[in-house]
């Protein structure tokens, strides 16, 4: 009859408490790590481990926290999109494609290898491969924003490669899920998913920006809205929701929305107004990742050995694949790109979770993949900070006639 | 094992879609109503009715939407708190107490009267009374912000009276819930709840602001944080969660947090940064209220007659009670205060829901109380807009030495 009832009212009160604790933990972790000269994001994730079920048990990853985490990474990539022009991505297109494809191929082979050596069944093998493929561009983007290097050629290559990566990961995940559910690959389903994804990307990456270039006041017609914030946020949520509905990552939609808005003349006021949303939501994303770790299931020599192996393979294969792809940028930039592609973050966790749900990824393997996702995420921010000062300068903006 | 699984991942994708639709509907309703010269809030609530289960069925009031709605009214009252100084409230203290008490007493008698005439059992009678008592200061606050009259003496009286109102409503709701569950009043429980509520209000209203007056840089120590936004938001969520945990409305905690922050020298930068959160979340609150209406259960002559009676009693008793209390302000201001106290909004809906859960409020009575809550909410914004120009001017700020 009605959604609002006693149980729900108490739930809402409890949810406020969880959101408060998660945000407080994130902020304290961030501050602590910044004071000891470390990246704040690492502190936020470890704060999530601390308050999560593995240690203090104050914050559980329930549906509401997941939605806040998702909006966190959605606004993160929306912000990145706002800072990115489509032409910037087009300039690095071929390079990004190479980085994306090679950065997927080698980890896939590594993951399949681990599964085959372990003697897992086919569906499990494919899931390990898919989990090693995934790149969490959210983590890298946050670090690149902090370091102020979003405008560099290397950073744009990372963003472009992340889009390629996500399309390939979607393909793999469709295959893996088909294998787990039916024992065979649903070729038509996979093809339809891919076609939808590519059509969506092409339409909005090309059509959306052109539309707004022709009608620059669409988001800010004087009689339509006092502030361009809500129209921009609605576009962001709409494209994110649509991307998620067709199986892509929601953040790809948010990234496209950001790029579309960046073409309008309202870019700067929108950036100012999105900034607080960008400050508010992403901490939930980092804490959420931390709460997913299951220290209990990792507390055996066998599990730790497997974790070490999977993590090492995940790092080495992604680094080498992406480095080869990015060679053309020169050593320093190629190393930055290769390291930036390493974090598996929430994407590895999602793949593992789908495998766990369908029963082909056991509890220990699940904990190992989550552990690998978090370890690959934790080592990257400090490395990127060391590599950032050696990056090639941003190209000077061509003079524009107003 | 893990919160993140296939079902949850699909749920998150669906939730993004619901949030997108809710925000889009709210924005369109707001724009449409502003264009035809009506208050935007009314448009947002009616948009909620339209997309809700009663008409289009696009948006259901699930847990996530409820949390967003709650944060909407939390940030709304946090904003109001930021604009309010404790001394302003103290100045209208006696008047606010009078408005609060009389604005509770008359609707209570009216509600009890309706129940007794209908021949309801005692617990049901008390629930009808409690539902007629509640005031939704969220709605009124949003209108007062839009009209730019938050600094007037009448507006401050409304805010103070709302706090009094909420404490009395808590008392009544404790009694009603005790009657429904046990058949008798849990005197000790009611007393403890009240004592906690009053201790909380006194401590933060007095202690909190004094602490920050003495240590004005607490929220913005140079090494502690780049921006004062997150510490302020954490304080807001913390006090809101604590208020909700002890049975008060979360918005009372948010309002206190806003007043505490308003005492710091960071008030203005924080206002600028909170503004986008204030733009983003409240539309979910207005849409949520609209989705709660059940047009089907009201589609009979008997239900409509009861709705008309309950709504008329709700309006007349609250107006007369509050008007008598506010007489000292002069006719124009007293009328503004009395109208501003009329909306029952989400508070009436919550009371009805608790009654429905415990089985003492039937489906038809539930729909009637929800309908009354929404009708009392819809008529107020246009009336306040007519009354606002006649309000006494804001008192001139005393000259301050920097």
pLDDT tens for each residue of B174-209: 788 777 777 777 777 778 778 877 888 777 766 666
C-alpha B273/C-alpha B268 separation (Å) is 9
CA torsion, points A165, A167, A168, A170, in degrees to nearest 10? 120
- Rounded mean pLDDT of B379-385? 93
Q: Does B57 touch chain A (CB under 8 A)?
A: no
Q: Cα dihedral sign for A244, A247, A252, A256?
A: negative
- Residue B397 predicted with pLDDT over 80: no
- Rounded mean pLDDT of B170-175? 80
**B31 vs chain A: nearest CA distance in angstroms?**
7
**B193 vs chain A: nearest CA distance in angstroms?**
15
Tell me which of B10, B13, B243 to substitute to probe the interface with A (most A C-beta atoms closer than 10 Å): B13
CATH class, domain B7-390, is mainly alpha
* Number of alpha carbons in the 13 Å side-chain half-sphere of residue A189: 14
Joined tokens for residue B237: 């969520």
* Cβ-based neighbour number of residue A187 at 10 Å: 11
Q: What pLDDT, on a 0 to 100 scale, did the predictor assign at position B38?
A: 80
**A153 vs chain B: nearest CA distance in angstroms?**
28
B 69-108 → A contacts, CB under 8 A: 70-71, 74
- Rounded mean pLDDT of B81-101? 85
C-alpha B375/C-alpha B344 separation (Å) is 9
Joined tokens for residue A401: 């006639």
- The three-state secondary structure class of A401 is coil
User: Could you tell me the residue ranges of all domains in chain B?
Assistant: 7-390
**ipTM here:** 0.83
Residues on chain A touching B61 (C-beta within 8 angstroms): 2-4
Nearest residue to A89 (alpha-carbon basis) of A170, A149, A158, A166: A158
Q: What pLDDT, on a 0 to 100 scale, did the predictor assign at position A283?
A: 94
Q: Is A250 within 8 Å of B13 when comparing Cβ atoms?
A: yes
- CA closest to B27 among chain A residues: A230
Say if residues B44 and B286 touch (Cβ distance below 8 Å): yes
- Residue B8 predicted with pLDDT over 50: no
- CA closest to A35 among chain B residues: B223
pTM: 0.85
Alpha helix positions (H), B297-391: 301-326, 331-340, 345-357, 363-387
Say if residues B57 and B297 touch (Cβ distance below 8 Å): no
Say if residues B251 and B77 touch (Cβ distance below 8 Å): yes
Percent above pLDDT 70 for chain B? 89
- Residue B88 predicted with pLDDT over 80: no
Q: Is B67 within 8 Å of A12 when comparing Cβ atoms?
A: yes
Architecture of domain A8-390: Up-down Bundle (1.20)
Considering CB atoms only, which of B245, B354, B357 is closest to A13? B245
- Rounded mean pLDDT of B72-78? 90
Q: Which of A362-371, B235-244, B257-266, B357-366 has the lowest mean pLDDT?
A: B257-266
Alpha helix positions (H), B119-152: 122-133, 137-147
The pLDDT tens digits of the residues spanning A72-116 come to 989 988 988 888 777 777 788 899 999 999 999 999 999 999 999
Q: Is B276 within 8 Å of A229 when comparing Cβ atoms?
A: yes
Q: Is B12 within 8 Å of A229 when comparing Cβ atoms?
A: no
Nearest residue to B102 (alpha-carbon basis) of B315, B312, B323, B252: B323
- Rounded mean pLDDT of B251-255? 86
Q: Does A399 touch chain B (CB under 8 A)?
A: no
Q: Three-state SS across A278-340?
A: HHHCHHHHHHHHHHCCCCHHHCCHHHHHHHHHHHHHHHHHHHHHHHHHHHHHCHHHHHHHHHH
Q: What pLDDT, on a 0 to 100 scale, did the predictor assign at position A19?
A: 95
Nearest residue to A243 (alpha-carbon basis) of B21, B65, B16, B18: B16
The pLDDT tens digits of the residues spanning B284-313 come to 999 998 898 888 889 999 999 999 999 999
* Cβ-based neighbour number of residue B359 at 10 Å: 11
Q: Is B8 within 8 Å of A283 when comparing Cβ atoms?
A: no
- CA closest to B245 among chain A residues: A13
Per-residue pLDDT of chain A (402 residues; tens, 9 = 90+): 233 334 445 778 889 999 999 999 999 999 998 888 788 888 999 999 999 998 999 988 788 999 999 999 899 889 888 887 777 777 888 999 999 999 999 999 999 999 999 999 888 999 899 999 988 888 889 889 989 999 899 999 999 998 888 888 878 877 887 777 777 777 777 787 778 778 887 777 666 666 666 655 555 544 344 678 899 999 999 999 998 888 777 888 898 888 888 877 666 778 888 889 989 999 999 999 889 888 888 999 999 999 999 999 999 999 999 999 999 999 999 999 999 999 988 888 888 888 887 788 888 999 999 999 999 999 999 999 999 998 887 655 444 444
Q: Is B19 within 8 Å of A241 when comparing Cβ atoms?
A: yes
Residue A122: Cβ-neighbour burial (10 angstroms; 0-12, 13-18, 19+): middle
CA-to-CA dists, residue A227 to A31, A156, A257, A371, B41, angstroms? 32, 29, 17, 43, 16
Q: What pLDDT, on a 0 to 100 scale, did the predictor assign at position B277?
A: 93
Q: Is A67 within 8 Å of B64 when comparing Cβ atoms?
A: yes
Considering CB atoms only, which of A1, A24, A71 is closest to B363? A1
Q: Is B366 within 8 Å of A275 when comparing Cβ atoms?
A: no
């Amino acid at each position: 009859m009605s959604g609002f009832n006693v149980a729900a009212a108490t739930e809402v009160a409890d949810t406020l408490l969880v959101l408060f604790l998660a945000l407080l933990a994130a902020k304290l972790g961030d501050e602590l790590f910044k004071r000891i000269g470390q990246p704040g994001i690492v502190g936020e994730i470890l704060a999530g481990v601390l308050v999560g079920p593995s240690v203090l048990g104050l914050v559980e990853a329930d549906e509401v926290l997941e939605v806040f985490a998702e909006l966190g990474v959605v606004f993160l990539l929306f912000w990145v999109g706002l800072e990115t022009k489509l032409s910037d991505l087009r300039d690095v297109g071929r390079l990004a494609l190479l980085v994306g494809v090679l950065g997927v191929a080698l980890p896939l082979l590594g993951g399949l290898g681990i599964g085959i050596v372990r003697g897992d069944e086919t569906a499990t093998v494919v899931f390990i491969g898919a989990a090693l493929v995934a790149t969490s561009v959210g983590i890298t983007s946050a670090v690149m924003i902090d370091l102020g290097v979003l405008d560099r050629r290397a950073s744009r290559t990372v963003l472009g490669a992340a889009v390629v990566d996500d399309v390939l990961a979607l393909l793999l995940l469709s295959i893996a899920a088909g294998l787990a559910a039916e024992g065979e690959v649903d070729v038509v389903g996979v093809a339809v998913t891919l076609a939808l994804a590519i059509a969506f990307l092409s339409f909005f990456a090309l059509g959306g920006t052109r539309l707004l270039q022709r009608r620059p006041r669409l988001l800010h017609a004087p009689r339509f809205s006092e502030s361009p914030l809500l129209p921009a946020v609605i576009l962001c949520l709409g494209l994110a929701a649509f991307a998620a509905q067709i199986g892509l990552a929601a953040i790809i939609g948010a990234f496209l929305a950001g790029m579309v808005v960046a073409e309008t003349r309202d870019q700067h006021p929108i950036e100012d107004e999105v900034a607080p949303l960008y400050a508010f939501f992403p901490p939930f994303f980092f804490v959420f990742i931390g709460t997913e770790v299951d220290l209990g299931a990792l507390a055996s020599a066998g599990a730790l050995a497997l974790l070490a192996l999977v993590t090492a393979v995940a790092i080495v294969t992604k680094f080498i694949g992406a480095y080869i792809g990015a060679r053309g940028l020169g050593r320093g930039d190629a190393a930055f790109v290769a390291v930036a592609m390493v974090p598996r973050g929430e994407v590895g966790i999602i793949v593992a979770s789908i495998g766990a749900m369908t029963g082909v990824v056991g509890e220990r393997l699940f904990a190992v993949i989550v552990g690998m996702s978090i370890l690959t995420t934790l080592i990257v921010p400090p490395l990127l900070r060391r590599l950032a000062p050696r990056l090639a300068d941003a190209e000077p903006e061509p003079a524009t006639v107003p």
